[in-house]
Amino acid sequence: MRKRLLLFLALSMSAQASEQFGGVFFDTSVEQVQINALKKDLVYLYNTPQKHIDQDLLFLGGLKTGQGPELHNWMINRLKYIVGEDFDLTANTYMVKKPVVYPNTPLPLPKVKPKLPYANFKSANKVNSFVVMSNPSGGFYVQGKKKKRLLFTKLDGARAVISSPRVGLVQVGQGLFRDRDKLGKNTNAPGYAIYRLSTLIHEGRHTDGSGVDIGFRHDYCPLGHPFENTNACESAGNGPYTVGTLAKRQLLRNCTNCTTAEKTFLLSSIADGFSRLLRPDGGSNVVDLEKEIENHQMIYNTYEKHLGLSKIASEKAKITKELAGLQKKITTKKAQITALVSSPKRTQIINPTPEGYFKTISLKDSQLLMQRSLK
Ligand SMILES: [Zn+2]
């Protein structure tokens, strides 16, 4: 009897049901702790008053008010189905035999990987091997478009019909939820929520755009960039890195209970986001400036050592002058970084109108969905 009861308990515990919350469908493949965190995040996004509105976010994200309910609406029009890390997307995606008509727009071109002038060592920055999040919606849509057949993904209790990248099918991984070294263990902290939400917004942007620009796909980072030769940069002025990072900036500005550690983490993550935006004018970007500061600092440290050892007054005066000059350069470049981070230079703006067949959820409807879930 006891054995049977244990078996029953084990079965009922593993039989986790899929869930709908605030307009988002969570597949059974998403771990319950992850669903709980994402549900809280959606509520945070919806309910947190946004006193400071980021004008760049409004303009580049195509928003009107930038308030929580609108940000939530923006998101659920782009992210509708969430599956877990172990969900086999390929095995669960089917093609309908009957041909269908797709919009008569060109297919996206392959992205060109820059040729390295030296042996391609693995970048030191590529240490993060955790899956954070991915959005296969655009890729699946293009696959179907090429074959003129409709694809759909079978979830537990739902079917995601890929008639547009706006189907909003995304996969979340451990990387989105693991402890960030600098943030401490409390993954429910607002800093974490902002980090996850801006990642969701980044992924949401991948469902926009049409024709050659479908899905706002990433571009390869140029040589010399910390992510050189990796598909982790952006030449569009209103792509996923831009919109996701601007959302992070606004949410951080409106966070009244973020700790210093959370703020520091988010600020460096914002600088990282902006460093991925490619500027066609070849002007300094955050990464170049940081490298220059590092070089100045190295020279500064060497001079400083010399100053400590030197006993000749004229030499000391000379070194002191050099040190002051270097300090001035460092200060100027730091100010340039601050300016760049606070207002990234706008590059090419791409028409974000999505392709294919999809239904837009009105603001009123998304508010109803959220209010129903909050009851
Ligand atoms: Zn992306």
CA of 97 to the centre of ligand 1 (A): 31
CA of 306 to the centre of ligand 1 (A): 47
CA of 234 to the centre of ligand 1 (A): 9
Residue 187, pLDDT > 80, answer: no
CA angle 36, 45, 349 (to 5 degrees): 125
CA of 241 to the centre of ligand 1 (A): 7
CA of 136 to the centre of ligand 1 (A): 10
Quote the distance between the C-alpha of residue 136 and its chain's center. Answer: 15
Average pLDDT over residues 114-141: 70
Least Cα distance to 193 among 71, 287, 85, 57 occurs for 71
CA of 206 to the centre of ligand 1 (A): 7
Residue 374, pLDDT > 90, answer: yes
CA of 132 to the centre of ligand 1 (A): 10
CA of 239 to the centre of ligand 1 (A): 9
Instruction: Return mean pLDDT, the chain.
Output: 87
pLDDT of residue 5: 44
Q: What's the pLDDT tens digit per position in 206-218?
A: 999 999 999 999 9
CA of 369 to the centre of ligand 1 (A): 27
Provide the b/e sequence for 31-54 (b: ≥16 CB within 10 Å). Answer: beebbebbbbbbbbbbebebeeeb
CA of 323 to the centre of ligand 1 (A): 42
The tokens of 281 are what?
A: 């004018």
pLDDT of residue 184: 65
- Please give the Cα distance from 74 to 62 (Å, whole number): 9
Q: How far is CA 85 from CA 122, 177, 308, in A?
A: 25, 12, 56
Residue 84, pLDDT > 80, answer: yes
pLDDT of residue 112: 77
Residue 118, pLDDT > 80, answer: no
CA of 240 to the centre of ligand 1 (A): 6
CA of 217 to the centre of ligand 1 (A): 7
Least Cα distance to 355 among 97, 197, 177, 144 occurs for 144
Helix (H) or strand (E) holding 95: strand 93-99
Residue 324, pLDDT > 80, answer: yes
Q: What's the pLDDT tens digit per position in 10-66?
A: 444 444 678 999 999 999 999 999 999 999 999 999 999 999 999 999 999 999 999
CA of 238 to the centre of ligand 1 (A): 12
- pTM of the full structure: 0.79
Contact 78, 205 (CB under 8 A): yes
CA of 248 to the centre of ligand 1 (A): 15
The structure tokens 């549900």 sit at 39
H helical segments located in the chain: 2-14, 32-47, 55-61, 68-76, 137-147, 190-205, 240-253, 260-275, 286-309, 313-342, 363-374
Is residue 42 helix, strand or coil? Answer: helix
Name the least confident of 47-51, 244-248, 277-281, 285-289. 277-281
CA of 207 to the centre of ligand 1 (A): 10
Strand-pairing partners, residue 24, are 21
Q: What's the pLDDT tens digit per position in 283-316?
A: 556 777 788 888 889 899 988 998 988 889 998 9
Give the CA dihedral 80, 191, 293, 313, nearest 10 degrees: 180
